[in-house]
Amino acid sequence: MAILLALCSSLAYGLSDFVGGLVSRRTSPWPVATLGQLSSTACVLVVALTVHGDPTRSDFLWAALAGVGSGLGTGFLYRGLASGRMGVVSPISAVGAAVVPVLAGALGGERVSLVVWLGILCALPGIWLVASTPEDDISRSEDPLRSRARATFAEGVADGVLSGLGFGLLFAALGQVPASAGLLPLALAQAVSVPAVIALAMALRAPWVPRGRPVRWALLTGPLGGAATLSFLLATHRGYLTVAGVLAALYPASTVLLAASFLREHVHRAQGVGLGLCAVAVTLVAVG
């Protein structure tokens, strides 16, 4: 049951990221993230009020930390998806989202096998290859565009890494909330993610107030993101944080598939190998 819940979380995250990425390309990513997190908070709160629980102060503190991670992860992911390619930003984000809860689970006493560590080692060259820009593409571009292409790609990679760390913090902190706490801590985590996104946008001097018709589509990411986080929390209640974190981090599979099918994004050979290594990494961590 824990594996099924974690896979459902992965699917919902992937769909949410695809929709959020598309909307972010039509407007600024920060209003999209803000509105999406607000929508997700409302959806989770409605469900949380129907579930009995006995949360402690510690549970709420872990939830608040998870909310900060969620806000940072979502903000940087949407910024990366808006300026970079979904097939690159999303997998890099996923590797960080997988590694952080694995380390948290190990430090928390979960037994991490050699297979899991092999998976983590596979992730390192995977990130390198996914983040590489083929020289032939660069050489075919004109000099004024070449530096800009490199800069845009590098920014996308950075956003993917920062997003992965944010989501990894979300998974690791949320995994500390027990089933007895109910769902109010989860609602708090979603609520905290909103000011976290706004604070990050203000620090980067980016507009975050939702305006215009395109940004309204961000409301669709709320139910998807809320369902994903709820499924992940339930998965940690029924299994190891290590396994749930890695399986939830498979979300780029659906995002990349949708991007290739509807946006016709091309994946180069080296990047394809990198994506394969990332897939091997999360698989090894899951089975380990």
How far apart are alpha carbons 288 and 46 in whole angstroms?
36
Average pLDDT over residues 67-76: 90
Per-residue confidence band for 148, with pLDDT thresholds at 50, 70 and 90: very low
- Residue 69 predicted with pLDDT over 70: yes
Residue 24 burial (10 A CB sphere; 0-12, 13-18, 19+): buried
Contacts of 283 (CB under 8 A, 6+ apart): 119
Top-confidence residue, 61 or 93: 61
User: Under a CB-based contact definition with an 8 Å cutoff, are residues 59 and 181 in contact?
Assistant: yes
What is the residue-wise DSSP string for 242-266? HHHHHHHTTTHHHHHHHHHHHS---
What is the residue-wise DSSP string for 203-227? HTT---S--SSGGGGGGGHHHHHHH
**pTM of this structure:** 0.80
User: Under a CB-based contact definition with an 8 Å cutoff, are residues 47 and 230 in contact?
Assistant: yes
Name the residue type at position 281: A
- The reported pLDDT for the residue numbered 83 is 67
Per-residue confidence band for 114, with pLDDT thresholds at 50, 70 and 90: confident
- Residue 3 predicted with pLDDT over 50: yes
- The reported pLDDT for the residue numbered 130 is 67
Average pLDDT over residues 32-51: 91
- The reported pLDDT for the residue numbered 142 is 46
Q: What are 179's two structure tokens?
A: 């089933």
* Lowest pLDDT segment from 101-115, 135-149, 203-217: 135-149
Average pLDDT over residues 126-148: 52
* Lowest pLDDT segment from 37-41, 67-71, 125-129, 164-168: 125-129
Name the residue type at position 96: G
E strand or H helix at 133: none
Top-confidence residue, 131 or 166: 166
Per-residue confidence band for 288, with pLDDT thresholds at 50, 70 and 90: low
